[in-house]
Chain A
Amino acid sequence: MSADRRPLLLMTPAMIWLFGLMVVPCALILVLAFFRRGLYGGIEYTWTLENLALVFDPLYFQIFLKSAGIAGLSAAIACVLGYAAAYAIAAMPRRHQPMLLFFAVLPFWSNYLVRTYAWIVLLNREGLIVNLARWVGYEGELPQMLYSEQAVVIGLVYNYLPFVILSCYAPLSRLNPEVNEASRDLGASAWTTFRRVTLPMTVPGIATGFVFVFVLSIGNFVTPALLGGGQFQMIGNLVYAQFLTANDWPFGAALSMVLIAVMLGLLMGQAVMADRASGGKGARDG
């Protein structure tokens, strides 16, 4: 066996697993998008593009846009907070950094539902934050915090922040401090150095974090259900409803297909960008 075949061999079990247990079932569901819905929730096996067309019906497409808006806002906030945290960690003495990273990512290891419920405890009308406001003497009207769009964004940002911290920390910790010093030496202020040297060199980490948070948020249905309180639907909730309550599997499949296409497009764009940033092979000659 030649040495260059060995990686292929090592990949095979994982590939079989992924293909057999992920890709095939997904494909089986997605193909439903091209069939008609039966009279009593069954499936009528005649080809149609109606389901896909329905996704772009303003009624539903608006939910798509709304979900993208919430996912985008969450991703943007997570990137600002996560980059700042990663920057601070990377600026600490090297020996403390693994510990700080560990703490930053710690909540990630607890159950998603538990973490989301914790926000209900914090945000509800008799919750910790309201009580805290009362305790410091605030008597006025407090805005409804739980069951709102803001609550959903808070929940999504909180849940996916560790991703961004990790994805931004990686390029930040690899920076050669002398490159920053060279910028200062050539006459740049600390802020200009950040804007023209540090930030451009770490943009791939931010982009990775953004895409991950966006992709995970746009399809999320747990956080909108718990923290949004049914005030509005995100695309994930709509898919959930088609499969489990409305019994319209073909439309659910069509929604999922568009969602997956958006996600794959973003992830691929991000992969191409990361490759280019790391001086991918194609970029060398020229």
Chain B
Amino acid sequence: MTHPFLSIRNVSKTFGSVRAVTDLSLDIAENEFFALLGASGSGKTTLLRMLAGFEDLTDGDILLEGSSIAELTPNRRPLNLMFQSYALFPHMTVTQNIAYGLEMDRLPKAETAARVSEILDVIQLGHLAKRKPDQLSGGQRQRVALARALVKRPKVLLLDEPLGALDKKLRSEMQLELKRLQHEFGITFIVVTHDQEEALVMADRIAIMKDGALLQVGTPHEIYENPGTRFAADFIGVMNFLPVSRTADGFAARDGSQMMSRGNAAPAGTPFVAAVRPERLRVGGTGDNSLTGEITALAYHGLDLLVHISTAIADAPVIARMTADEADGNAPVVGRQVTASWSAKDTHIFPE
């Protein structure tokens, strides 16, 4: 078999005059944990709803294992969606909610009961099986919604901002939990999120969505270390941007000093920015590029220390990350002048 597991081909969706998704193509492999990452309104939910069958395609096609599912009603698609609102049945208990999908598959009663109790163990909610959704906490509801979709063992599980309503600590626990479940059940996951950190932690591959189109698709490492556009560079993680101008043999910073870069091919005539991540800056060290400035603020994060440096070659303070070890040996002080340097290989050039 040569065809991709799930293939989204030139899909578009317009609501009246609003173009929610525009000519989007994407292939997803079996057992992949795929994250759709984008700001609010970028069309993530619309794409998921088209996959689940709740929105007609204005254009394009969706193929699962080589055959089109675009014309199937939602109940006939071997995909399940976990709704952003969870959409639990309020008049049913936890058990009834989870059993519902299996009853629709006309599974024998005994098998339904066995699978429900098995998944209740997995999500550790066996003791709340007889509760109704309004008697559960947000985190418990989230797990019921997940179990209800997962228990059907769909070919693809679609999750719309599954962790969006949880607090930070629970969210990072559930990120790992989702990854574990995906591995254990061997199901393809497509997770929508607007949280770039979440996408980096969970996904095998990430697609960055903007205005209904894909900006870049790649592994977390590729997306983080080699962003394709200035938008992607800005959206993922923290990035310092330094205005540069084109010279005969490369690029120069505002103060005229040479800016060595990894040699991104850049079209002539447009203004450019150089981009470098905080963890690539070495405070006090030497390298291909460097800057000097005054420390304006220190942000302590436990694991690391972010040093804000006000410099003549950028408008916003440049942020350098020091590990706890580095900071111990050479504690930075607000108000002091420092030099920070970095390598050419860590310097990206983008059109402004």
Residues of A near any B CB (own CB < 8 A): 176, 178-179, 181-189, 192, 196-197, 200-201, 279, 284, 286
Asked if B235 is an interface residue, CB under 8 A from chain A, the answer is: no
Chain A residues contacting B91 (CB-CB under 8 Å) are 200-201
Q: Name the residue in B75, B80, B85, B132 with the highest tally of chain A Cβ atoms < 10 Å from its Cβ.
A: B75
Across the interface, A185 reaches (CB within 8 A) one of B75, B88, B135, namely: B75
- Of all A-B residue pairs in the complex, the 8 with the closest CB atoms, nearest first, are A187-B104, A186-B101, A178-B87, A182-B87, A184-B74, A187-B75, A179-B87, A178-B83
The reply to whether A185 and B80 contact each other, CB–CB distance below 8 Å, is yes
Chain A residues contacting B53 (CB-CB under 8 Å) are 184-185
Chain A residues contacting B75 (CB-CB under 8 Å) are 184-189
Given known A187-B75, A201-B90, A284-B135, contact A182–B83 (CB-CB < 8 A): yes
The reply to whether A179 and B104 contact each other, CB–CB distance below 8 Å, is no
Chain B residues contacting A189 (CB-CB under 8 Å) are 75
Across the interface, B87 reaches (CB within 8 A) one of A176, A196, A279, A286, namely: A176
Chain A residues contacting B52 (CB-CB under 8 Å) are 185
Give 28 CB contacts A-B under 8 Å.
A176-B85, A176-B87, A178-B87, A179-B89, A181-B81, A181-B83, A181-B87, A182-B88, A182-B89, A182-B148, A183-B89, A184-B54, A185-B52, A185-B54, A185-B74, A186-B100, A186-B101, A186-B104, A186-B152, A187-B105, A187-B152, A188-B100, A189-B75, A196-B100, A201-B90, A279-B132, A284-B135, A286-B135
Chain A residues contacting B85 (CB-CB under 8 Å) are 176, 178
Asked if B134 is an interface residue, CB under 8 A from chain A, the answer is: yes
Minimum distance in angstroms from B71 CB to a CB of chain A: 15
Across the interface, A197 reaches (CB within 8 A) one of B89, B105, B135, B152, namely: B89
Asked if B73 is an interface residue, CB under 8 A from chain A, the answer is: yes
The reply to whether B73 and A183 contact each other, CB–CB distance below 8 Å, is no
Interface positions, chain B 121-155, Cβ under 8 Å from A, are 132, 134-135, 148-149, 152
Across the interface, A184 reaches (CB within 8 A) one of B73, B88, B148, B149, namely: B73
Across the interface, A186 reaches (CB within 8 A) one of B54, B73, B80, namely: B80
Chain B residues contacting A200 (CB-CB under 8 Å) are 91
The reply to whether A187 and B89 contact each other, CB–CB distance below 8 Å, is no
Chain B residues contacting A284 (CB-CB under 8 Å) are 135
Chain A residues contacting B74 (CB-CB under 8 Å) are 181, 184-185
Given known A181-B83, A192-B104, contact A186–B90 (CB-CB < 8 A): no
Minimum distance in angstroms from B140 CB to a CB of chain A: 15
Assembled-state Cα–Cα distance A186/B153 (Å): 11
Chain A residues contacting B89 (CB-CB under 8 Å) are 179, 182-183, 197
Chain A residues contacting B149 (CB-CB under 8 Å) are 185-186
Bitwise, B101-125 to A at CB < 8 A (1) or not (0) is 1001100000000000000000000
Dominant secondary structure at the A interface: helix
Q: Name the residue in A176, A179, A185 with the highest tally of chain B Cβ atoms < 10 Å from its Cβ.
A: A185
Residues of B near any A CB (own CB < 8 A): 52-54, 73-75, 80-81, 83, 85, 87-91, 100-101, 104-105, 132, 134-135, 148-149, 152
Q: Name the residue in A186, A188, A192, A284 with the highest tally of chain B Cβ atoms < 10 Å from its Cβ.
A: A186
Chain A residues contacting B80 (CB-CB under 8 Å) are 185-186
The reply to whether A179 and B148 contact each other, CB–CB distance below 8 Å, is no
Assembled-state Cα–Cα distance A284/B133 (Å): 11
The reply to whether A187 and B87 contact each other, CB–CB distance below 8 Å, is no
Minimum distance in angstroms from B95 CB to a CB of chain A: 14
Assembled-state Cα–Cα distance A196/B91 (Å): 10
Assembled-state Cα–Cα distance A189/B73 (Å): 9
Chain B residues contacting A176 (CB-CB under 8 Å) are 85, 87
Chain A residues contacting B73 (CB-CB under 8 Å) are 184
Minimum distance in angstroms from A275 CB to a CB of chain B: 14
Assembled-state Cα–Cα distance A124/B62 (Å): 62
Chain A residues contacting B88 (CB-CB under 8 Å) are 179, 182
Minimum distance in angstroms from A157 CB to a CB of chain B: 29
The reply to whether A179 and B100 contact each other, CB–CB distance below 8 Å, is no
Assembled-state Cα–Cα distance A182/B85 (Å): 10
Assembled-state Cα–Cα distance A186/B147 (Å): 12
**CB nearest neighbor in A for B160:** A178
Minimum distance in angstroms from B44 CB to a CB of chain A: 16
Given known A181-B74, A192-B104, A284-B135, contact A186–B87 (CB-CB < 8 A): no
Chain B residues contacting A185 (CB-CB under 8 Å) are 52-54, 74-75, 80-81, 149
Assembled-state Cα–Cα distance A178/B194 (Å): 21
The reply to whether B83 and A183 contact each other, CB–CB distance below 8 Å, is no
Minimum distance in angstroms from B101 CB to a CB of chain A: 4
The reply to whether B90 and A179 contact each other, CB–CB distance below 8 Å, is yes
Chain B residues contacting A179 (CB-CB under 8 Å) are 87-90
Minimum distance in angstroms from A86 CB to a CB of chain B: 19
Chain A residues contacting B134 (CB-CB under 8 Å) are 279
Minimum distance in angstroms from A198 CB to a CB of chain B: 10
Chain B residues contacting A187 (CB-CB under 8 Å) are 75, 101, 104-105, 152
Chain A residues contacting B148 (CB-CB under 8 Å) are 182, 186
Other CB < 8 Å A-B pairs besides A181-B83, A184-B73, A186-B75, 15 of them?
A182-B81, A182-B87, A182-B148, A183-B89, A183-B100, A185-B53, A185-B81, A185-B149, A186-B100, A186-B148, A187-B104, A188-B75, A201-B91, A279-B134, A284-B135
Minimum distance in angstroms from A150 CB to a CB of chain B: 37
**CB nearest neighbor in A for B106:** A187
Assembled-state Cα–Cα distance A10/B91 (Å): 36
Chain A residues contacting B132 (CB-CB under 8 Å) are 279
Minimum distance in angstroms from B142 CB to a CB of chain A: 14
**CB nearest neighbor in B for A196:** B100
Assembled-state Cα–Cα distance A182/B74 (Å): 9
Assembled-state Cα–Cα distance A185/B53 (Å): 8
The reply to whether B104 and A188 contact each other, CB–CB distance below 8 Å, is yes
**CB nearest neighbor in B for A279:** B134
**CB nearest neighbor in B for A175:** B90
